């Protein structure tokens, strides 16, 4: 099956697949909003959070009730959201788990983000040993963009994220190396809902990227899922694929992608995590980025994340440091 995928021309299939995914996700979001609107609301005195604790009655009383609107399926708010105190815990469904985002392969806002939430952030990756080497036809083994030249300096990517509806968010990102713009990237994300007494939350993400150096268009589709075990431990995972659909390359590559990140809430403001990113080029090499990390919330609007790890590829092991600076609005 992998050989068939590698040999086929994906240029016709991938755009149609992305369009269909977007239509299905928006339809599912509208249907879910209508279904939830029809469900009876339980008495506040009998409601508890996922860990069996009695909820804050004032917070639940002030939580917004939602009704479907005619604007892109977005629910209208009938009450004002209460401002929460910290970034990692600001998003998520009303009774969904609060799970941190991976530092390197982050989300477009946390799953379940509320309409109107906005964020700007900058990701940086710094190779700790200079190593110019082509890996599976890719010139930059640590870079954020495939088939980009390796200038042996810091890779960084400013981005802006915005939740256009409850559980629906968009992103625009500009991967760079030094002052050179390597690509333009747009992405969308949707939240499906929660399960298992609201300890589990899941959704999907679609990405379209244009590489300026290679003139190659790349699409990515991912299934997202998170689970909270208890007050301390949680895990987040992604699985999907990435394919080159247009561009002047003789063989358009397809990849299998996966990310698993284990988190521990150390304090109210600090979260520790171990992130593992896997990319398997179909018919080619495997790459793994292992990145232990710390997230620290400076206040309600600012967060700094940092870590040191390594990228492992066939014939190459390269230590790398990473950081992300986040500002919410």
Task: Tell me what the mean pLDDT of segment 123-131 comes to.
Answer: 88
Instruction: Check residue 72 and give its pLDDT.
Output: 54
Find the domain containing 298 and state its range: 2-328
**Residue by residue, what is the 3-state secondary structure of the chain?**
CHHHHHHCCCCCHHHHHHHHHHHHHHHHHHHHHHHHHHCCCCCHHHCCCCCCCCCCHHHHHHCCCEEECCCCCCEEECCCCCCCCCCCCCCCCCCCCCCCCCCCCCCCCCCCCCCCCEEEEEEEEEECCCCCCCECCECCCCCCCCCCCCCCCCEEEEEEEEEEECCEEEEEECCEECCEECEEEEEEEEEEEEECCCCEEEEEEEEEEEECCCCEEEEEEEEEEEEECCCCEEEEEEEEEEEEEECCCCCCCEEEEEEEEEEEECCCCEEEEEEEEEEEECCCCEEEEEEEEEEEECCCCEEEEEEEEEEEECCEEEEEEEEEEEEEC
Instruction: Check residue 266 and give its pLDDT.
Output: 95
Number of domains in the chain: 1
Instruction: Check residue 43 and give its pLDDT.
Output: 47
Instruction: Check residue 129 and give its pLDDT.
Output: 84
> With bands split at pLDDT 50, 70 and 90, how would you rate the model's confidence at 132?
low
Is it the case that residue 22 has pLDDT exceeding 50?
no
More confident residue, 13 or 235: 235
36-74: pLDDT as tens digits: 444 454 444 344 444 443 333 333 333 343 444 445 567
Quote the percentage of the chain above a pLDDT of 90: 54
Instruction: Check residue 285 and give its pLDDT.
Output: 85
185-244: pLDDT as tens digits: 999 999 999 999 999 999 999 999 999 988 999 999 999 999 999 999 999 999 999 999
The reported pTM is 0.75
Share the mean pLDDT of the chain: 79
Q: What is the CATH number of the domain that holds 255?
A: 2.40.160.40
149-162: pLDDT as tens digits: 877 788 999 999 99
Return the top range by mean pLDDT from 14-23, 84-93, 102-111: 102-111
Residue 248 exposed, middle or buried by CB count within 10 Å (0-12, 13-18, 19+):
exposed
Instruction: Check residue 145 and give its pLDDT.
Output: 86
Task: Tell me what the mean pLDDT of segment 174-178 comes to.
Answer: 93
């Amino acid at each position: 099956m992998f050989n068939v995928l590698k040999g086929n021309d994906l240029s016709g299939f991938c755009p149609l697949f992305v369009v269909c995914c977007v239509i299905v996700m928006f339809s599912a979001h509208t249907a879910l909003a209508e279904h939830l609107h029809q469900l009876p609301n339980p008495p506040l005195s009998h409601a508890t959070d996922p860990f069996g604790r009695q909820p804050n009655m004032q917070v639940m009383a002030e939580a917004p009730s939602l009704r479907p609107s005619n604007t892109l399926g977005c629910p209208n708010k009938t009450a004002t959201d209460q401002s929460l105190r910290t970034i990692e815990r600001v998003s998520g469904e009303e009774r969904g788990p609060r799970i941190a985002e991976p530092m390197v392969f982050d989300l477009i806002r946390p799953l379940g983000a509320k309409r109107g939430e906005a964020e700007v952030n900058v990701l940086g990756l710094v190779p700790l040993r200079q190593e110019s080497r082509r890996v599976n036809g890719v010139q930059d083994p640590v870079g954020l963009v495939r088939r980009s030249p390796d200038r042996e300096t810091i890779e960084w990517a400013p981005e802006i994220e915005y939740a256009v509806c409850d559980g629906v968010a968009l992103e625009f990102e500009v991967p760079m190396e030094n002052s050179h713009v390597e690509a333009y990237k747009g992405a969308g994300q949707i939240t499906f809902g929660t399960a298992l007494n609201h300890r589990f939350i899941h959704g999907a993400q679609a990405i379209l990227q244009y590489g300026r150096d290679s003139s190659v268009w790349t699409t990515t589709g991912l299934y997202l899922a998170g689970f909270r075990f208890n007050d301390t431990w949680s895990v987040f995972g992604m699985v999907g694929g990435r394919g080159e659909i247009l561009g002047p390359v003789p063989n358009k590559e397809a990849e299998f992608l996966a990310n698993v990140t284990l988190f521990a809430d150390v304090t109210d403001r600090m979260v520790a995590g171990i992130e593992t990113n896997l990319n398997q080029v179909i018919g080619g090499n495997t790459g793994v980025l292992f990145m232990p990390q710390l997230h620290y919330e400076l206040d309600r609007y600012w967060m700094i994340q940092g870590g040191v790890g390594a990228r492992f590829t066939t014939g190459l092991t390269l230590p790398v440091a990473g950081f992300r600076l986040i500002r919410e609005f």
